[in-house]
Amino acid sequence: MSKPAVLVCRAVFPDIVDRLREHFDVEDNPSDVVWTPAELIQRLQGKAGVFITGTQPIDTALLDACPQLKAVCSMAVGYNNVDVPACTAHGVVVSNAPDVLTETTADFGFALMMAAARRIAESEHFLRSGAWSKWSVDAFAGTDVHGATLGVLGMGRIGQAVARRGALGFGMKVIYHNRSRLDAAIEAELGARWVDKEALLRESDHLVIVVPYSAASHHLVGAAELALMKPTATLTNIARGGIVDDAALAQALRDKRIAAAGLDVFEGEPSVHPDLLTVPNVVLTPHIASASLPTRRAMAHLAVDNLIAALGFGPHAGHPPTALNPEAL
C-alpha cells in the first residue's frame, strides 16, 4: 500500500523530516522557498497532511482547494494564521506547539525588556560607530528593572513565565491584565495582581505583551494607550505583530512619550515599519523569541508527533497530543 503524502512547508531539521519519511511520502522544502498561497495550494494537491510554521495562511479558500487534506500541524504556538473553525468544518485536524517553547520565549522577552530598559542596543551602536570618546556620568542611563513594576498583558503560559522571572529573580512587583484571572494560588506564587487595562498601562514600569493575535487584539496598544504610559516606561512585544500599532509606537518613542521598546514581532513582518528603523530607543529583533536550537527542535518534533498521530500512525495514533480541534478527527 502506498504511503500517504505530506508536505513540509519550510526547511526544517533533516533528521526530524526523516521521522515523517518512516510513515509518509514527504515533499519538503530544503531550499526554504517562501511559497505564495497559490503555490502552497498547488503543492498540497493529493497531500493528506501539512507541516507548517506560524506564517502559512490556512483558510477556507485553501481548504476548499485541497479536499484530501486531513491534518495541519504547526510548529508554532500562535495559530492566528490558521482558520481553526474552517478546518473543523472541513474535517481537518489542527495542532500547534505549546509548552515546549514557554521558558525559552520568556527568557527572550526578559532579555528584550532588559535591553530596552538598559539601552543595550542603542549604546552598542554608539560604540561600534566609533563615537565613544569619554566616559560620562549620564551616558545611556536607563531605567532599573529590579524592584520595578512589571506589567504583563496576556497572562497565559509565557506571560506567567515572564512574571515568574520578574517576581522571583528581580524582585519586581507584578501586575497583569487578562480576560480571565489566574488561580489564586498562582497569583500568590507570583505576587501578581489583576488590574484593568488602563491601570496596567498607567502603573507599569515595564510592559510585556504576550496576548495571542486576533481581531480583538488588533492594535490593542495604539496612540491612546501609549499616552497613558509613564514617560520612563518600556514596552516589549514578543506576541505578534499587529497587536501594537507600530506607527503610533514609533511616534511615541520619538516624542519620548515612553522611554524605550523591545520588539520581536511586527505588523506585516518581515517588513518593518520604516519609522521604527529610524528611532534609536527601540531594540528590534527578527521574530526569534523561541529560537534556541533545542527549543526549535522540540517545536518541530512536536509538530511531527502530531502529524504522525493525526494521520493514524505511531504510539498516539488518532490522538494528536496538542490538537486544537480533536473533534475534527
Q: Summarize as ranges the residues that interact with ligand GLV (CB under 6 A).
A: 54, 76-78, 101, 290
Q: CA-CA distance, 184 to 182, in Å (whole number)?
A: 6
Read off the amino acid at residue 38: A
Nearer to ligand GLV, 77 or 259 (CB): 77
Provide, rounded to whole angstroms, the least separation between the CB of residue 70 and ligand GLV: 23
Query: Distance between CA 88 and CA 101 in Å, rounded?
Result: 26
Residue 198 in grid coordinates: 488602563
Torsion, Cα of 272, 274, 278, 283 (10° steps): -10
The reply to whether 240 belongs to the active site is yes
201: nearest Cα among 229, 178, 222, 176: 229
Candidate list 164, 177, 240, 296, residue with the active-site label:
240
Q: How far is the CB of 210 from ligand GLV (least distance, A)?
A: 11
* Block residue for cell numbers 506576541: 239
Quick check: is 319 catalytic?
no
Catalytic residue among 43, 219, 287, 316: 287
Rg, C-alpha atoms of the chain: 22
Residue 257 known to be catalytic:
no
Nearest approach in angstroms of CB 239 to ligand GLV is 8
Pick the catalytic residue: 27, 103, 187, 269? Answer: 269
Give min distance, CB of 215 to ligand GLV, in A.
18
Q: What is the residue whose three cell numbers read 514600569?
A: 205
Cβ proximity to ligand GLV: between 78 and 91 the closer is: 78
Please say whether the dihedral angle defined by the alpha carbons of residues 274, 277, 280 and 286, taken in this order, is positive or negative: positive
Nearest approach, Cβ of residue 296 and ligand GLV (Å): 10
User: Per-residue DSSP letters for 165-205?
Assistant: IIIIIH--EEEEE-SSPPPHHHHHHHTEEE--HHHHHHH-S
Considering beta carbons, is residue 104 or 149 the nearer one to ligand GLV? 104
| Smallest distance, ligand GLV to C-beta of residue 44, A | 22
Burial call 241-275: b when 16+ CB within 10 Å, e when fewer: bbbbbbbbbbebbeeebbbbbbbbbbbebeebbeb
Considering the complex, state which of residue 63 and residue 77 has its C-beta at the smaller distance from ligand GLV: 77
Based on CB atoms, which residue is closest to ligand GLV, 177 or 240? 240
Nearest-angstrom CA–CA distance, 66 and 37? 12
Nearer to ligand GLV by Cβ, of 142 and 154: the residue is 154
Residues designated catalytic:
240, 269, 287
